């Protein structure tokens, strides 16, 4: 259904023009942003709660962007690799309307939306299928955390706005095509950040939970695309830094209870019976995603402790 009350922008990409002295070079000469981190090292993360005073709880999360190669001229923002910036607001718990049927537990509603300027390809004002998928996975991850029996016939809304999202691949790989990559690997990192920032906002709202949930993502990457080169397991992958991503896994993990509330695996993955020279197994990929979630959990606990000390005046 089209939004007839709004003048929408063009459906195609709206990236600022790139001048001929840049497009005359080969994309390989411009340089893919390298991964300077070790395979088991996460990006730096900034997390802060209480950024929206009008909401019951709120949080802001920002991930460190990739290092720009020296070949890219400074100031050409359309060619610089993007990071991840998310903001989350929680409204509730509040009573449901009188017309709503009785519910013995709280009704959780999640809404994930890309800002129109969040990615290189401009997003629409109405949610598409990928944003609805992110909302479903986020609801699944949070439903096993909130103690819903304490708020009968009540509802809570978790709204996440993606101010800057992960690109699905390096801009030089699809230059001139004007279409989003079919892989959509950036959604995995976005969902991991959504789970972490939503957990911080729910804790800031004072909603009782069994534990704080954090998101983590791991991937199997290959150095050369389309060739039988050896694969490698990495934590917190950035799609623009790797030539090819074979498989990725995202988990929502509860460290205190050692439970996983949501698991999403995408791509070609091996089994435990395969030899070590082939693809890593499904269990290895999930275990590495849990390790990434533990790293996010430490940042989450630090942000919540800082907020608690600020509220108590310590």
The mean pLDDT of 302-313, rounded to a whole number, is: 88
Would the pLDDT of 161 be above 80? yes
Of 204, 171, 206, the residue nearest 28 (C-alpha): 171
pLDDT tens digits, one per residue of 32-44:
677 788 888 899 9
Rg (Cα) of the chain, in Å, rounded? 21
Burial bucket for residue 259 (CB in 10 Å: 0-12, 13-18, 19+): middle
Please state, for a pLDDT cut of 70, what percent of the chain lies above it: 75
| pTM greater than 0.85 | no
Is the N-terminal amide bond of 93 cis, ω within 30° of 0? yes
pLDDT attached to residue 120: 78
* Tokens 């949501």, residue located: 262
Which pairs from 177-185 meet CB under 8 Å and 24+ separation?
Answer: 178/12, 178/13, 178/121, 179/121, 180/121, 183/239, 183/245, 184/130, 185/219, 185/237, 185/239, 185/245, 185/248, 185/266
């Amino acid at each position: 259904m089209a939004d007839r009350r709004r003048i929408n922008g063009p459906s195609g990409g709206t990236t600022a023009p790139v001048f001929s002295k840049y497009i005359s070079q080969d994309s390989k000469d411009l340089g893919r942003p390298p991964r300077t981190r070790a395979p088991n090292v996460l990006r730096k993360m900034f997390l802060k709660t209480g950024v929206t005073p009008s909401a019951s709880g709120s949080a802001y999360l920002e991930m460190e962007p990739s290092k720009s190669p020296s070949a890219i001229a400074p100031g050409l923002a359309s060619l610089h690799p993007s990071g991840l910036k998310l903001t989350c607001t929680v409204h509730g718990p509040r009573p449901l309307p009188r017309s709503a049927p009785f519910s013995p537990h709280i009704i959780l509603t999640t809404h994930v939306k890309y800002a129109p300027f969040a990615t290189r390809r401009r997003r629409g004002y109405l949610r598409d299928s990928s944003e609805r998928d992110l909302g479903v996975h986020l609801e699944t991850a949070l439903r096993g955390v909130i103690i819903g029996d304490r708020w009968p016939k009540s509802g809570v809304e978790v709204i996440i706005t993606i101010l800057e999202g992960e690109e699905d691949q390096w801009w030089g790989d699809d230059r001139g095509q004007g279409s989003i990559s079919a892989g959509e690997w950036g959604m995995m990192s976005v969902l991991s950040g959504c789970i972490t920032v939503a957990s911080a906002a729910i804790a800031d709202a004072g909603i009782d939970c069994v534990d704080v949930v954090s998101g983590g993502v791991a991937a199997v990457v290959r150095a050369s695309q389309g060739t039988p080169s050896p694969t490698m397991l990495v934590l917190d992958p950035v799609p623009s830094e790797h030539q090819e991503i074979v498989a990725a896994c995202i988990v929502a993990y509860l460290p205190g209870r050692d439970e996983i509330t949501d698991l999403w695996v995408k791509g070609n993955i091996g089994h435990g019976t395969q030899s070590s020279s082939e693809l890593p197994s499904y269990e290895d990929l999930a275990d590495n995603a849990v390790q990434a979630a533990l790293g996010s959990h430490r940042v989450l606990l630090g942000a919540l402790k800082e907020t608690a000390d600020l509220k108590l005046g310590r």
